Chains A and B, each alone.
Chain A
């Protein structure tokens, strides 16, 4: 199994380190040629505007969009989720627009409002998952094909799945808990529905 990690800008090294722990082959992706032969793609946290500008170069965004439409599993964290969303309530970036969700950027405020909290994520088992939210977005609306995987105590949706597309508002790559990445690899392997 070979997973690509978009390496335009952001915390891509952290995703790569986790994938190595899970014994997966990893390709950092900066150019379309590096997308060839991937079984899945991760779009990391970072600055969504910055990443989206860099994705417009060399047609990277349109290549990823067409791969997603052809069923490539993609996992986006934070900025990655913003880029995957079809709708963005404060549109400053050009998203890939492949997931049927509406997101709101910087939904909690500025950096001083960034926080950590424990999340209940039933698909990952009973043990709470460490949620690291950094200038995080939230999911405001989903269509009926989208499954909500995690909510904050107040009901706000913070992780979703639509078919082979997975997105979280928080950063599993900043924790030592490998379960979210393992869940994505299970989707890639076709093991979960």
Chain B
């Protein structure tokens, strides 16, 4: 018996495909999320919209919150650590969380280096804005990727930009002649082996979710049609006026993303969505997506 292998790390991400992972800040929210059909929950002290509003340094959540959520639900529990903060990651692994998100939503601990994730038995998910960033994270051992979007805004525009960049990057590599792959790897700043693998297979070697801005069932289905294999919903559920109904609707829309009649049906009478933010009104230094490289 061998635990913590690449196969079981990436395999858990495969089990999450076609699902919705919801941010929760206590056991009660976690139960609502599970009941609505979330395939996992992200245990946090504050959702991104509140982190954005509060400012200051955002860190790993208090372990008592994470443990309470782990006790409350049977679905996998994820938790976030700061970019490069491998000791927060060690602590989360010791707590027994099922997945660690090395996340730009928290204040980075290291501006030059991400965590060397191969050293851990617990799988990691990391954010990316384009294919190069995705492949750097996979090279470091991320067993799952999510496009960053812009967390806490309720605005899907950055999520779309980043998903198109990743999927477009894959299409370009597939059509790049073999002899140009090394130059491509150099230009993208990514490991050659991964560039060659994408050229050969036409897909990422790990599951790719969408994150950062999903607020409605149609947003979730949009990301799925653009090529996401599942969606993270952060502030979009518990900052809305009727979280239970909205959570169920987003789960249904993610499964039936190719069925416009179902999308229309589940979009009815959801109440107020979270208040949104125009990305252009956010000062550049406050954009979360630009954290990490």
A residues whose Cβ falls under 8 Å from a Cβ of B: 7-14, 30, 45-47, 49-50, 53-54, 57, 78-79, 90, 92, 105-106, 109-117, 132-135, 171, 174
A182–B249 alpha-carbon span in the complex (Å):
37
Contact A14 B7 (CB under 8 A): no
Of A13, A14, A47, A171, which is within 8 A of B39 by CB? Answer: A47
Chain A residues with Cβ under 8 A from B76's Cβ? 47, 111, 135
Contact B15 A111 (CB under 8 A): no
A131 to chain B, nearest CB (A): 9
Q: Which of B106-114, B155-163, B184-192, B250-258 forms contacts with chain A? A: B250-258
The closest CB in chain B to the CB of A90 belongs to: B74
Contact A9 B255 (CB under 8 A): yes
Query: Is B34 in contact with chain A by the CB < 8 A criterion?
Result: yes
A60–B96 alpha-carbon span in the complex (Å):
35
Contact A49 B37 (CB under 8 A): yes
Total residue contacts A-B, CB cutoff 8 A: 122
A9 to chain B, nearest CB (A): 4
| 3 closest residue pairs by CB, A with B | A53-B37, A111-B98, A47-B39
B279 to chain A, nearest CB (A): 30
A46–B252 alpha-carbon span in the complex (Å):
15
Contact B3 A13 (CB under 8 A): no
Contact A111 B122 (CB under 8 A): yes
**11 pairs, A vs B, C-beta closer than 8 Å:** A9-B255, A45-B14, A46-B16, A47-B15, A47-B16, A47-B19, A47-B76, A92-B74, A106-B74, A115-B1, A132-B7
Contact B93 A50 (CB under 8 A): no
Contact A112 B18 (CB under 8 A): no
Of B1, B15, B37, B98, which is within 8 A of A45 by CB? Answer: B15
A106–B75 alpha-carbon span in the complex (Å):
9
A111–B78 alpha-carbon span in the complex (Å):
10
Chain A residues with Cβ under 8 A from B17's Cβ? 9-13, 46
Of B3, B14, B39, B248, which is within 8 A of A114 by CB? Answer: B3
Chain A residues with Cβ under 8 A from B75's Cβ? 47, 49-50
A133–B14 alpha-carbon span in the complex (Å):
13
Of B12, B36, B38, B255, which is within 8 A of A8 by CB? Answer: B255
Contact B15 A116 (CB under 8 A): no
Chain B residues with Cβ under 8 A from A49's Cβ? 34, 37, 74-75
The closest CB in chain B to the CB of A113 belongs to: B3
A78–B15 alpha-carbon span in the complex (Å):
10
The closest CB in chain A to the CB of B40 belongs to: A47
Chain A residues with Cβ under 8 A from B35's Cβ? 53
Question: Residue-by-residue, is B1-43 near A (CB-CB < 8 Å gives 1, otherwise 0)?
Answer: 1111101100110111111000000000000001111111000
Contact A171 B11 (CB under 8 A): yes
Contact B93 A54 (CB under 8 A): no
Query: Is B141 in contact with chain A by the CB < 8 A criterion?
Result: no
A117 to chain B, nearest CB (A): 5
A179–B39 alpha-carbon span in the complex (Å):
29
A45–B18 alpha-carbon span in the complex (Å):
12
A95–B42 alpha-carbon span in the complex (Å):
25
